[in-house]
Amino acid sequence: FLESILKSMSDMVAIIDLDGRITAVNHAVEEELGFRMDEIIGLGFNEAGWFDESLRDEIGLFLGRVAEGEVIEDREITIFTEDGQPIQILFSMAPILDRSSGEVLGIIAQGTDISELKEAHEALKARAKEIEEYTDELLTQKEQLIVMTAELETAKTYLEILIDTIPSALFTVNTEKKITFWNRACEDITGYTREEVLGESCSIIKGNCCDGYCALFDDDVVKPVRGRECSIRSKDGREIIISKNLNLLYDASSKITGGIESFIDVTAEREAMRTIKESEEKYRTLVENINVGVFRVSPDGRFIEANPGFIRIIGGSNRDNVLGSRVKDLFLTKEMLKRVMEELEKEGEIKDYEIPLRRLDHGSVIWVSLTAQLLEHDGEKYIDGIIEDISARRELERRMKYYTEELEHKIRMATAEIRHDKMKLAKAYKDLKELDRLKMEFFSNVSHELKTPLTVIKAHLHFLKSGKLGEITDEMRHSIDVALEEATDLEELVGRILDLSRLDAGRLELNLKMASLKDIVADLVERMRKTAEEEGQKLILEVEDEIPKRLLDPRRMREVVRNLISNAIKYNPEGTTITIKIYRNSENIILDVTDDGVGIEEDKLEKIFERFYQVDGSSTRSGSGTGIGLSIVKELVELHGGKVTVESEVGLGSTFRVILPIKWDETKGGE
């Protein structure tokens, strides 16, 4: 009888003695794991080959705990088939108790395969079939129970204990629909104890399972009933969705003596299936409405899936016009298509691959950013991908490059003209003052001429970013952010030019107040850390001793520190570590900005703080600049009564040092 029960269960079940050895397993163990029953009977449960090394000790501990009466429930673990294939299961262990004495007779272990949620429905159907077979076999044993000896009576008691231990709910009723048996799983699922229901009508778990008729005793209902889904009510009023099997019970003379019903709680599975369905519907709605193009390509190189965004981007008139068309029709050359396919075959995916494509409608060329991956299904290779039209962004980049180059050219021309004028103006003080006035006027005009379009550009970029002109993608938002950063950099350059003119004219005044250099530096390091990380660099702040406050112009000192850190980031390669150190001696506050980057040649160091001087040469220069930042740093530090120095060695890095006297009187130049 025990063997029949075990055979009918779809979950993997093993019966273990108190020494931890396997005494019986059901057919599910053989079918799902591939271990033959005659090979594993008598083996230690945790040494049978289905656990890896990392689990065997833990399972051994479980065996000891369960042998003392503890129940191990719903542990998610991984076991292995005989050929080494992993299976995720929900693992439980429980003691088999003598109902009269409470003595632990053995251990039952159960494993439920949960590796594929989408197979839940089929698994439940299979479970129902197994329970049906179990029920049929249980009924066929009825006649044999009448003539069983005391030994069989002992086996019956053992079986009742086993049924009371299995996770599937099972109960029996007599012909008056009074409950005669109620196992522990029934208690766990419904909340009703055995004492509360024995002798009571089975309608105590009322739900829609018995609406209008009784499936068990209705002659029009064909028995056995397998896998019927309906709902019951728990003791606390919760609705529980179950999948149940039921059949009639007969005595030896084929007289109906009652009925048996088993069920499992499938509420969670149904909720999971509902969630999956809702998620799939939301995903499809999202794909159909996003602005980027989503597509799938068949093994023969034709489009078999395409969302409206893709059809619009490639110029398809409708979905039918696009589906079935060839991928190669979009590429300008066979070589372009070949490069893309080779990259996919090699890496399995490509990301943000910018290529030109030919539209289907009028053959015009557009630029797109392509992200795709190669998928294999049933031995066939498919391509799933996303494209985004970046034609507008590339045009914006082209224009920004043109404007930047034009501006740089104007600045270079203006700088050359200023230098030439300064050489001529050296001959006469009167001419020098006049040309200086013209230079000031030129700088002012150029700066204001640049500020106006820059302000307009930034305003329009912010307006674009706000989404008021239409929804923007993350890629578009990134492009706008890059343009805003470049415009801001250009705006700062204009500010530096104005600072130069003010410095030359002696009209740059400091707004001094007692302030902490440490706070200024710490704030800037935190703000610029992300920029350094984006360049693959590392910013470290070190503060030694207590740094006193002193008279500072916080805005101008921020400009000094920002220039030094920005240069260290800009002119050094990926992997550079930049250390900003603040310390003091008895007279000065000292700020070091040190990098372990490319370094500067010795003959360039004495000119590095001169206006418009740039350290050139591809071996030491990884960025580009105007040559005015360090000259402004030097003059601003000197206006604060301090000085700035540099130490460098090619290949080892550089240290720019700002030295500020702790006690300083601006009217006297120091104390």
Q: What is the pLDDT of residues 364-378, one digit of tens each?
A: 888 999 998 988 888
One-letter amino acid of 628:
I
| Burial 556-586, CB ≥16 within 10 A → b, else e | bbbbbbbbbbbbbbebbeeebbbbbbbebee
| pLDDT value for 513 | 92
Q: What is the pLDDT of residues 257-300, one digit of tens each?
A: 898 888 888 888 888 888 777 776 666 666 677 778 889 988 88
Q: What is the pLDDT of residues 294-320, one digit of tens each?
A: 899 888 888 888 888 888 888 887 888
**Cα–Cα–Cα angle for 233, 238, 239, rounded to 5 degrees:** 60
Residue 292 belongs to what H/E stretch?
Answer: none
Q: Is the pLDDT of residue 29 over 50?
A: yes
Residue 368 belongs to what H/E stretch?
Answer: strand 365-377
Strands (E), 525-631: 538-543, 550-552, 577-584, 588-595
Q: Is the pLDDT of residue 28 over 70?
A: yes
**Cα–Cα–Cα angle for 366, 371, 373, rounded to 5 degrees:** 135
Asked, as a colleague might, if the bond just before 224 is cis with ω within 30 of 0, I would say yes
Superfamily of domain 280-389: PAS domain (3.30.450.20)
Measured distance CA(457)–CA(50) in Å, rounded: 67
DSSP 326: B
Best mean pLDDT range from 200-214, 387-401, 432-446, 511-525:
511-525
Tell me which residue of 586, 596, 588 sits closest to 657, measured CA to CA: 588
Strands (E), 30-85: 72-80
DSSP 21: B
| pLDDT value for 529 | 92
Going by C-beta distance under 8 Å and a sequence separation of 6 or more, which residues neighbour residue 515? 549, 550, 551, 552, 554, 557
| pLDDT value for 469 | 76
Strands (E), 509-662: 513-515, 538-543, 550-552, 577-584, 588-595, 643-649, 653-661
Measured distance CA(615)–CA(633) in Å, rounded: 16
End-to-end distance of the chain based on CA atoms, in angstroms?
Answer: 104
- Check if 166-271 and 509-661 are the same fold: no
Count the Cβ atoms, other than its own, within 10 Å of residue 142: 14
Tell me which residue of 87, 95, 93 sits closest to 74, measured CA to CA: 93
The stretch 639-643 carries a mean pLDDT of 92
Average pLDDT, the chain: 82
DSSP string spanning 191-211? ---HHHHTTSBGGGG-BSTTS
Helices then strands, each counted (H, E), the chain: 20, 22
Classify domain 509-661 by CATH number.
3.30.565.10
Q: What is the pLDDT of residues 139-188, one digit of tens each?
A: 776 566 555 656 656 766 777 777 777 778 888 999 888 999 898 888 89
| pLDDT value for 37 | 83
Predicted TM-score of the model (pTM): 0.35
Q: For 118-127, 162-171, 326-335, 521-530, which range has the lowest pLDDT when averaged over its residues?
A: 118-127
Q: Is the pLDDT of residue 668 over 60?
A: no
| Burial 450-469, CB ≥16 within 10 A → b, else e | beeebeebbeebeebbeeee
Superfamily of domain 2-124: PAS domain (3.30.450.20)
One-letter amino acid of 74:
D
Q: Which CATH number fits domain 166-271: 3.40.190.10, 3.50.50.60, 1.10.150.120, 3.30.450.20?
A: 3.30.450.20
Q: Is the pLDDT of residue 431 over 90?
A: no
| pLDDT value for 505 | 59
| pLDDT value for 429 | 60
Q: What is the pLDDT of residues 509-554, one digit of tens each?
A: 788 999 999 999 999 999 999 989 989 999 999 998 789 999 999 9
What sign for the dihedral angle of Cα 631, 524, 542, 578? Answer: negative
The stretch 330-336 carries a mean pLDDT of 87
| pLDDT value for 364 | 85
The stretch 391-395 carries a mean pLDDT of 86
Tell me which residue of 142, 107, 176 sits closest to 249, measured CA to CA: 142
What sign for the dihedral angle of Cα 177, 181, 187, 188? Answer: negative
Give 35's pLDDT tier (boundaries 50, 70, 90): confident
Q: Which long-range contacts (CB under 8 A, 24 or more apart) does 182-191 make?
A: 189/234, 189/240, 189/242, 189/263, 189/265, 190/232, 190/234, 190/235, 190/240, 191/234, 191/235, 191/236
Percent of the chain whose predicted confidence (pLDDT) is above 90: 19
| pLDDT value for 4 | 63
| Cβ–Cβ < 8 Å for 23, 41 | yes
Q: How many residues does the chain have?
A: 671
More confident residue, 523 or 456: 523
More confident residue, 488 or 362: 362
Sheet with 86-97: strands ordered across: 22-25, 12-16, 104-113, 86-97, 72-80
Q: Is the pLDDT of residue 1 over 60?
A: no
Say whether 594 sits in a helix, a strand or coil.
Answer: strand
Q: For tokens 């240069």, name the residue.
A: 567
Give 625's pLDDT tier (boundaries 50, 70, 90): low
Distance (Å) of CA 600 to CA 568, 596, 656: 12, 11, 11
Domain layout of the chain by residue ranges:
2-124, 166-271, 280-389, 509-661
Measured distance CA(21)–CA(277) in Å, rounded: 44
Measured distance CA(232)–CA(202) in Å, rounded: 11
Alpha-carbon Rg for the chain in angstroms: 41
Largest CA distance in the chain: 135
Give 74's pLDDT tier (boundaries 50, 70, 90): confident
